[in-house]
Amino acid sequence: MKKLVMIGNGMAGVRSLEELLKRDNSSYDITIIGEEPHPNYNRIMLSNVLQGKTELDDIIINEWEWYKENNIKLITGEKVTGIDRDRKAVSTDKGSDISYDDLIIATGSSAFILPVPGSDLDGVIGFRTIEDTEKMITIAETKKKAVVIGGGLLGLEAARGLIDRGMEVYVVHLLPTLMEQQLDAPAARMLKKDLEKQGMIFKMEKQTAEIVGETVVEGVRFNDGEELACDLVVMAVGIRPNVALAKDCGLEVNRGIVVDDYMRTADPSIYAVGECAEHRGVAYGLVAPLYEQGQVLADTLTGKEGPGYEGSILSTQLKVAGCDLFSGGKINEDDETEAIVVQDAVAGVYKKILVEDNKITGIVLYGNASDGNRLFSMLKKRTDISEYTTAAVFQKAGEAEDEATLLAEMPADETVCGCNGVTKGTIVQSILEEDLTTFDDVKKCTKAGGSCGKCRPMVEGILSLTLGDNFDAAAQTNGMCECTDKSRDEVVAEIKEKGLQSPMEVRYVLGFKHPEGCSKCRPALNYYMRMIRPADYEDDKSSRFVNERMEGNIQKDGTFSVIPRMYGGTTTADELIRMGEVAKKYDVPLVKITGASRIGLYGVKKEDLPHVWEDLDMRSGYAYSKSLRNVKSCVGSLFCRFGTQDSLGLGIKLEKELEMVDTPHKMKMGVTGCPRNCAEVLTKDFGVVCVENGYQLYIGGNGGTEVRECDYLKIVATEEEVIMYAKAYMQYYRETGIYGERTAPWVERLGIDTIKTVLMDNEQRDYYVDRFTLARDTYHEAWSAMLKKNDEKKLYDVIKI
C-alpha cells in the first residue's frame, strides 16, 4: 500500500481525499498533517459564525470520526517545517519525520497584512481562521469601534458580522467602488447604499498609512492625514498563497506553486491543490475551482484518464442579509461585448448580461439574483441565446420567473451548488437512492448548501419537485422558514394580536430577514392570512406554488398533468368524449385512470394548459392543491350486495361540501360501504366506514411513505352528522396545522385525545363548523366573482400566468 501524505487539513485538500476515497479506498495509507488544532472545517462559513448565524461546531465538515472510519491518520496542531525530496519525507516542528510515496501540498493561503507601521499591534487581525474569528468575537464583547480595511467580499462579510456583534464599523477601501473585481459601478453603488442602511460607514478612496497605538490598536491614520479612533482593525485586502515549503525544497513557484493540468508540480511525486497552487498563471481563492481541482487530483492519483483541469470561470455571491448579488465571468463591456441591462431603481434590482457572438460572457445581478446559477450554467456551456427573451417589464410578482418550472426544466448536469460543484442530477439521484427528505439530509449527503448556503432555496425546490406530495415543508427548519426564527404558532399569534393585514406587513413588523420573503414563507403566510381573515383578505395568487396557479401538477420534464373533477369517480359520456378529443388535439402522451378514480391527462405543455381547460369545460379536480383532493368511495348499497349504506352518494356529498377550501397540506378522504373496506379508508385523513347502524368515523391516516393507520373517532347515525364532523375536523386542522404538515403528524403532535376533546364538545364543534362555513363561502364568492367578471370565461383564464 502506497503512503500518501497531505500537508494541510483544509477544504480543498480534504475534498481531494474524499474524491479519492470514492474512486479507490484501499490503495493508499493516508496521513494528514494540519497546523490548526481542528478537524476539517468550512472557512466560507466563518462569516456566518461572526454574524451569529451559526456556531463553530456547525461548520465542521468532517468530524474526528470521519478520519477514523476512513483509516486516515490525522495529526493536528503540528506544522510541517521541511520537505526532503531526496528521502521523500516531511519533518515537523514537533520532531516528526514522515515518509511518503506521494505528497499533496494543500497549505492554502494566509491573510495579507498591509506592511504599514503598527500592523503588528494587538488588535490587528486577518480573517482566515477559527482563531481569527474567536478573537474578533471576544474583542466585540468589550470594545465598540472597528475598522475593516478592504471593501471586497471578505471585508464586507466581516463588517456585517461585527455590526451584528454590536460594534460601530468603518469600511476603508482604496478604490471608488466596492467589490470592484465582481461588480460594475451601478451594482456597486446599489450595494453601498444598502449596506449604509445596515449601519456600515464607508471611507472610500482612502489609503492606510499607519495603525496607531502603543501595544494595542488605538486608531488608523490615512495618507491624507485623517485619523479614525478604533479598538480593532481587520485586514481584508487579499490573500497570499502559502508557498514557503515548496520554495525551500526547490519546486517551481511564482505567486503559487506551479502545477500542470493534472495538479502535478515539477516533482512527479508531489502535487499541489487549492489556494497554494498556481495553474496556467492563476491562483484561485474561491472554493468552487478548488473543488474542481480536487476531482482532477483524485483522478490523477487513481490513474483515471481525462482532460485534466482546464481552469475555472469564477462566480461570486455575498453572504450578507439584505444584499442579494451574483457575479460571474466578465463584469465590464469591451469592444467585443454588448450588454443587456435591466435596472429598476424602485425595486432595487439591477441585471446586466454581457453577450458576445450570441453567448453569455458575463453576469452582474443585484437585488434579485435568483437567475444566477441558471445564467452561469449557460455562460459555462456557451449556450446560444439568440432565441431567448432579453427583458421583461411590469410583470406581477411571481410571474416573471417560476422557480418550480425552471427547476423542472433544469438539465441534470447543471450546477446547483457552485461552492461545492454539486449538480441537480447528483441531488436528485441522492434523494431517490438514499431516501433523503430534508435539506439537512441533502447537505450531509452531497454537501450542496453546505458552504455559503445561498443555494438552499434551490435545493429545497429540488427536494419538493422530486418528492412531490411526500415533501414535508414543516420538517425543513425549526422556525417557519429561513427568514425568521419564529415558529408557525408564534407568527399566527402575532398576526391575530397585532391585527396584521398582509404578508408584507407580517414580514416587516415581525422582522423577517428578507422583505420579500422566501419560497416557504410566501405561500405559508398567504395561507395563514386567508385562514385567519377569510372575509377580508384577498388571496395572493402570485404567492401560490406553480401547481396551484396552473391548476396542474408539474412533472419532471416541465410538462403538467390535467385532472378534471369527477365526483366519486363518476362521469358522463359527453365528458369522456371531450377528454378524448382534448387528448388527441393537444397530443397528450398519457391518459390514465388515477389512484383517486379519475382520468388524468399527463404531459400537457405549459402553453397549452389554458386551452386544454377551456376545451374540457370541466372543473378542476384539485389534484395539485393543498386542500381536499378527493373522496374515494366504493359503490356501496347502490350495487354491491355487501353494502350497508350509500357510500358513493355520501362520498360525493362530502366532496362537494368540503372542496376548494385550502388546508395546510393535501387531504384525502374515503367512504367505504361496509367493513370490508374496499375504499381503503383507514389510511385516509378522514375515513368513514358504513355499518348497519350508522357511520364509523376515523381520522389522521396516511398512506404515503410512512403509513399511519387512522384513529377511531366515534360512530354517528346520519350523513348530516358525518359532514358536520368532517367540517369541524377540517377547520380545526386548518387553524392549528403547520403549513406543509399532513394530518398524520398533526394528530401525533397535538395528540388524538386533544382532538377528540375538541370535536366532542358541542360548543367547540359548532364554532369550527361555523368558521369552516364562513371560509367556504368566501371561496365560492371568489369563484363566482371571477366567473362574473370574466363573463363566460373559466377560472383557468383568470389565474393563468
pLDDT tens-digit series, residues 280-302 = 999 998 888 998 999 999 999 99
Structural fold of domain 2-108+241-301: FAD/NAD(P)-binding domain (3.50.50)
Q: Which residues contribute to the annotated binding site?
A: 634, 640, 674, 678
552 CB contacts (<8 Å, ≥6 apart)? Answer: 560, 561, 562, 563, 604, 609, 623, 624
Classify residue 429 as exposed, middle or buried by CB count within 10 Å of its CB (0-12, 13-18, 19+). middle
CA distances from 121 to 215, 567, 707 (A): 6, 79, 64
- Tell me whether the CATH fold assigned to 2-108+241-301 matches the one assigned to 124-237: yes
Q: What does the H/E/C string look like for 742-758?
A: CHHHHHHHHCHHHHHHH
What pLDDT shows up at residue 435? 87
CA distances from 611 to 409, 483, 551, 553, 619 (A): 22, 38, 12, 16, 14
Nearest to 260 by CA among 272, 242, 244: 272
* CB count in 10 Å sphere of residue 48: 21
Structural fold of domain 631-801: Sulfite Reductase Hemoprotein; domain 1 (3.30.413)
Q: Which residues contribute to the annotated binding site for siroheme?
A: 678
- Provide the Cα torsion 7, 8, 12, 18; round to 10°: 70
What pLDDT shows up at residue 402? 55
What pLDDT shows up at residue 713? 94
What pLDDT shows up at residue 793? 42
Q: What is the DSSP string of 695-723?
A: EEEEE--B-SSS-BPPEEEEEESSHHHHH
Intervals of the chain under pLDDT 70: 319-322, 389-405, 451-453, 473-479, 546, 704-705, 782-801
- The CATH homologous superfamily for domain 124-237 is FAD/NAD(P)-binding domain (3.50.50.60)
Domain over 545-625 is classified CATH 3.50.50.60: no
What pLDDT shows up at residue 798? 36
Tell me the Cα Rg of the chain.
31
What pLDDT shows up at residue 120? 95
Nearest to 768 by CA among 741, 800, 732: 732
Given a contact cutoff of 8 angstroms between Cβ atoms, the answer to whether 147 and 230 are in contact is yes
Coil/strand/helix, residue 730: helix
Structural domain spans, the chain: 2-108+241-301, 124-237, 475-544, 545-625, 631-801
Distance CA 734, CA 347 (A): 34
- Provide the Cα torsion 665, 671, 676, 679; round to 10°: -50
Q: Which residues contribute to the annotated binding site for [4Fe-4S] cluster?
A: 634, 640, 674, 678
What pLDDT shows up at residue 188? 95
Nearest to 82 by CA among 325, 221, 214, 247: 247
What pLDDT shows up at residue 596? 78
What pLDDT shows up at residue 782? 62
Residue 342 grid coordinates? 435591466
Q: Is the dihedral of CA 534, 538, 539, 543 positive or negative?
A: negative
CA distances from 492 to 139, 280, 384, 501, 738 (A): 39, 57, 48, 12, 10
Write the Ramachandran bin of 278: left for phi over 0, alpha for psi from -120 to 50, otherwise beta. beta
* CB count in 10 Å sphere of residue 45: 22
Grid look-up 457575479 returns 327
Given a contact cutoff of 8 angstroms between Cβ atoms, the answer to whether 510 and 486 are in contact is yes
